[in-house]
Structure 1
Amino acid sequence: MGKTGAIRTGTAGWVFEPWRGSFYPDGLVQKKELAYASSRLGSIEINATFRANQKPESFAKWAGEARDGFVFSIKGPQLVTHIKRLKNCEIELANFFASGPLALGAKLGPFVWQLPPNVSYDRDVLASFLALLPKTTSEYVALAGKSDARLKSAPYLDVAGVSVIRHAIELRNASFDNPEVAALLAEHNVARVIADTAENPSRELTADFAYCRLQGPAHGDGQGYQTGDIADWAKTVKGWADGGKDVFAYFVHEDKLHAPDNAIALRQAAGITLAGD
């Protein structure tokens, strides 16, 4: 019997004022919020990296605050996805990868690349970008080693604790709904982000792991994720994990206030308990 995959549920970010007194206990100091969040969640998506490269010290600090067994996913920079639009971006990727994500060590999870809705499918552009993405620590260090003077800190190339390099990509233009795209992603073992929206209800897997940014639910009644939706997703993610795939599921819908509760409910429905329960 093969290995069962790990299921990690979480949120996009952990600093959200309305969570104070709802998700976060009254009186919890802000500098302890990440430690608390990691006691209830399996993963958090770091979004600050989308706006600008962070520093190795920041990644190391976050890793130090989160519990053992917790992992972060990291959103790729808008400079690559929205400005360069995946074209001619090797040095931009090098600077990003050299900026410090490796300082997360064993808590480094997948990188996620979110395209704007107005970027449409171009086979050559997508294939070239996927080929650039490092899939091993040696490929990562080789690409990060090409960083240039725009990187504000010394390149961070220490791979201690890092074993797997993974990537997911969120394709938000309908032109990507093409079997050729799924084949390209599978060739590079890059996960297509599962959005769970009325426009993008597909739950197709293209890699050896699943990456969900749950923005729905797909029935789109505006009520957010209810008990039945959570039960449905628990069945789905357990099926993937039983098939040997690691699962990352983040609640990033407009009902952000309830995202932590949704993530905890899905984790518990999937049969996973944490010390914080």
Structure 2
Amino acid sequence: MRSTTGMVNLRSGGRACLKRSPAAGLRSASRARRRQISENPEPRKMGDIRLGTSGYSFGGWKGIVYPSNIRESEMFAYYTDYFRLNTVEINYTYYTMPSRKVFESYARRLPDEFDFTVKLYAGITHEPWLSADSAPDVDTDLCSRFLWAIEPLAESGRLGCLLAQFPPRMYPGRVSWDYLLRLRDAFAGQKLVYEFRNKAWVSPGTISKLKQADIGYCAVDEPQVGPLMPLVPAVTSDVAYLRFHGRNTKWFEDSSVRYDYLYSERELKKMLPTIKSMAGRSKTVYIQFNNCHAGAALRNVKMMQYLLGLDVPPLQGVLFGAAF
């Protein structure tokens, strides 16, 4: 019989042969490329798995995952004590320069075994890329002010790492790498993790250079639309990082629903091998849920905590959104 692309061709002896379409070949090549990019030495004993959310103080969480009458000043204690999480990603520092007093307060009231990851200010990571007329520069004065503000947390030993997220308009190249290395130098002595928002960065070269510079790579689970990154569970320093952004395909259409997504238990179960692999190739792996709309992040992090065997069964109100 005459074969057609993607159809079964019955050859002599009755054997069936499936001829792959060009598209299937491209998909296979893409998967192989991602495996090559994230390739690392054989896993050792699993590192510390730390689970949290990207922020904890949201009015929209009241009556869903927080009691409806909770005060903002009570949210942090509720997050740490009631939900028994061991990290949180501080995100407000992306939108405004942090206050040293805030971090002094955190350092005084942290529970045992709890630490923070802190996102760098957009004035450091984004604003340098707004102008197309000049090469981006690292504002060392701004970096010094940021370091001074978070110093109480660092001195207390509760600063896990700093997360630098870069804009989609940032592409790999000599200018970009020069900026990235100067940014590392500006934060010398701190553990840095870089999150890219453009899939042009998905390459063995990116992973190799980050390893050489001892900079962590932030793996992401996010919708596969536009330039957004595929999941590449690479580990490039002793700190591994995975952010769950949700899979809402309206990411670029409507920013108000960008993080409106609740992972199913089945979706999270499929991520377990990835998390365990990353933990086996690092000293610490941070799993931060950024799908914060309507408390979805907190519901999902408790589900993941249970699936990993790190806690008792999830709270009924958290899993099913029952009002308190």
Task: Report the CA distance shift for 1:258/1:111 in structure 2 as closer, same or farther (over 3 A).
Answer: same
Shift of 1:11: 1.0
- For 2:174, the aligned partner's letter is R
Asked if 1 retains the 8 angstrom alpha-carbon contact of 2:46 and 2:276, the reply is: no
Task: Report the CA distance shift for 1:257/1:193 in structure 2 as closer, same or farther (over 3 A).
Answer: same
Pairwise mapping of residues 24-103 of structure 1 onto structure 2 (< 5 A)? 24-39=66-81, 40=83, 41-85=85-129, 87-103=137-153
- For 1:88, the aligned partner's letter is V
Query: CA separation in 1, counterparts of 2:66 and 2:282?
Result: 33
Query: CA separation in 2, counterparts of 1:186 and 1:127?
Result: 15
- For 1:111, the aligned partner's letter is L
Query: CA separation in 1, counterparts of 2:126 and 2:278?
Result: 31
In structure 1, runs of 5+ residues without a counterpart are 141-164
Asked if 2 retains the 8 angstrom alpha-carbon contact of 1:8 and 1:267, the reply is: no
Per-residue CA deviations over 1:76-119 (Å, capped at 9, x if unaligned) read 01111111245232222222112234435222111001111111
Identical-pair percentage? 23
Higher relative contact order (CA 8 A, sep 6+): 1
- For 1:234, the aligned partner's letter is L
Pairwise mapping of residues 118-267 of structure 1 onto structure 2 (< 5 A)? 118-133=169-184, 139-140=188-189, 165-197=190-222, 198=224, 199=228, 200-217=230-247, 224-253=262-291, 255-267=293-305
SS of residue matched to 2:147 = helix
Provide the TM-score with structure 1 as the length reference.
0.79
- For 2:285, the aligned partner's letter is V
- For 2:63, the aligned partner's letter is G
SS of residue matched to 2:286 = strand
Shift of 1:237: 1.6
Shift of 1:3: 5.3
Query: CA separation in 2, counterparts of 1:235 and 1:174?
Result: 23
In structure 2, runs of 5+ residues without a counterpart are 1-42, 130-135, 251-259, 316-324
Asked if 1 retains the 8 angstrom alpha-carbon contact of 2:262 and 2:297, the reply is: no
Task: Report the CA distance shift for 1:244/1:51 in structure 2 as closer, same or farther (over 3 A).
Answer: closer
Per-residue CA deviations over 1:111-157 (Å, capped at 9, x if unaligned) read 00111111111234324433542599xx44xxxxxxxxxxxxxxxxx
> Deviating runs (4+, > 6 A) in structure 1?
none
- For 1:248, the aligned partner's letter is Y
Per-residue CA deviations over 1:5-51 (Å, capped at 9, x if unaligned) read 11111111111112112211343332111011123222111112112
Shift of 1:232: 2.1
Task: Report the CA distance shift for 1:5/1:135 in structure 2 as closer, same or farther (over 3 A).
Answer: farther
Which residue is equivalent to 2:12? none
Which residue is equivalent to 2:50? 8
Tell me the matched-pair count. 249
RMSD (CA atoms):
2.8
2:141 paired with 1:111: no
Shift of 1:72: 0.9
Per-residue CA deviations over 1:141-199 (Å, capped at 9, x if unaligned) read xxxxxxxxxxxxxxxxxxxxxxxx31111111232123221111111221221111224
Q: Which range moved further: 123-132 or 165-174?
A: 123-132
Query: CA separation in 1, counterparts of 2:283 and 2:102?
Result: 30
